[in-house]
Chains A and B, each alone.
Chain A
């Protein structure tokens, strides 16, 4: 399982770097993606293949977005969400096509990073729900990447 301490050290480093290098006006979904990828990075060593493609956009505090995703039984998936707004709180959760929460208990949420872990019990469509729980900004960029093994 991912060490939160390790994640926080790495995350805080990247967040600081982003703070120094990216002015608010230039902040974008691409910046949010870099944070999502940062959350994903430790899992590569565990054999997860991280998809190059990602989803992103901007949401207001309290707003949700659903992404429909085809998952295959036999694979194991992680979804990682990030935002460049470090005071934001984000979450990501996975539901099956009936609307039942199916993520594993080691799924996590830490400030502007969140991740959901699922081992599908059936092949089919699932819903990945991303939420900006809190944010000091009117609109908050988010990005979602996923990996499988």
Chain B
């Protein structure tokens, strides 16, 4: 057994070691990005609420307009469930922005059902419960955290069983729904700052690369998404980040069409 005194001694030793090792190395003011490119890790997919948070700071967003709580279709194909799961989690973040507790709770249950459908329900049961509890208390920070944990747990469970491609589709579904809502908001009241939030060319490139590596998912919906991303890319890949109103409108039309295809059974 470790006595407190022994523990304290170790603690002090570690602290002394820490103090001695403090020695800041000044960072270069410029680096050659081209030299780095071979070592660059995959781009990290932001959560929908990262862009919603930035959008919110521009003011005047009535999030209740974008809340969606219909149960939607049920699918059996795992890639479709994965896409829908990402979309529904994004809907959860929208409901949090709108502070709509009943919808948040419904979405928590919907996410659980979809996760079960894809075989990873066990990993998120505690998070679904926590979402309900936090929504009842209107503790929106906790709901956000649990939605993040839900997505993380679902994707970790998928990765553990080597379903990385499904995990990427979850991210893609969330990104498409987030982009649809972002473009709807900016389309209603255009501003350069709002439109600039669409400047995500590397993220788009990441999704294009990932989709191209999924030939085994021979589905019309995925082919449609691939074609749509090819159309969207030049609209957002602008050197100065200034994305004009017609481009925002076009991206909105494209993402709205894809979102409808993801949540309905006709595709």
Binding site for B on A (CB under 8 A): 8-9, 11-13, 15-16, 19-20, 49, 51-53, 55, 64-70, 72-75, 86-89, 91, 93, 95, 97-101, 103, 108-112, 122-125, 127, 129, 131, 133-134, 148-149
A95 CA / B34 CA spacing, docked (Å):
13
When the two chains form their complex, are residues B203 and A19 in contact, meaning their CB atoms are under 8 A apart?
A: no
Name 9 extra pairs, CB < 8 A, besides A69-B44, A129-B36: A8-B15, A9-B15, A55-B44, A68-B42, A75-B57, A89-B21, A111-B18, A124-B202, A133-B25
Separation in Å of the A4 CB from the closest CB of chain B?
9
Contact in complex: A15, B193 (CB < 8 Å): no
Are A52 and B148 CB-contacts (below 8 A) given A101-B28, A127-B40? yes
A15–B246 Cα distance when bound, in Å, is 54
A93 x B27 contact (CB < 8 A): yes
| Shortest Cβ gap from A28 to chain B (Å) | 15
- Whether A52 contacts B152 in the complex (CB less than 8 A), given A89-B21, A110-B18, comes out as yes
Q: Which residues of A contact B55 (CB under 8 A)?
A: 74
A55-B44, A100-B30, A101-B29 given as contacts; is B18 within 8 A of A15 (CB)? Answer: yes
Q: Shortest beta-carbon distance, A119 to chain B, in Å?
A: 11
CB of B241 within 8 A of chain A? yes
Interface string of B8-40 (1 = CB under 8 A from A): 001110110111011111011111110010011
Using CB atoms and an 8 Å cutoff, list the residues of chain B in contact with chain A.
2, 7, 10-12, 14-15, 17-19, 21-25, 27-33, 36, 39-47, 49-51, 53-55, 57-58, 141, 144-145, 148-149, 151-152, 193, 196-203, 241
Report the minimal beta-carbon distance from B94 to chain A, rounded to whole angstroms: 16
Closest CB in chain A relative to B181 CB, distance in Å: 14
Q: Is the interface of B mostly helix, strand, loop or mixed?
A: helix
Residue of A nearest to B35 (CB): A99
For residue A79, give the distance in angstroms from its CB to the closest CB of chain B: 11
Given A19-B14, A70-B200, A72-B51, is A127 in contact with B141 using a C-beta cutoff of 8 Å?
Answer: no
Are the C-beta atoms of B31 and A129 separated by less than 8 Å?
yes
Partner of A86, one of B18, B31, B241: B18
Measured CB to CB, the nearest residue on chain B to A77 is B50
Instruction: Determine the chain A residues whose CB is within 8 A of the CB of B199 once the complex forms.
Output: 122-124
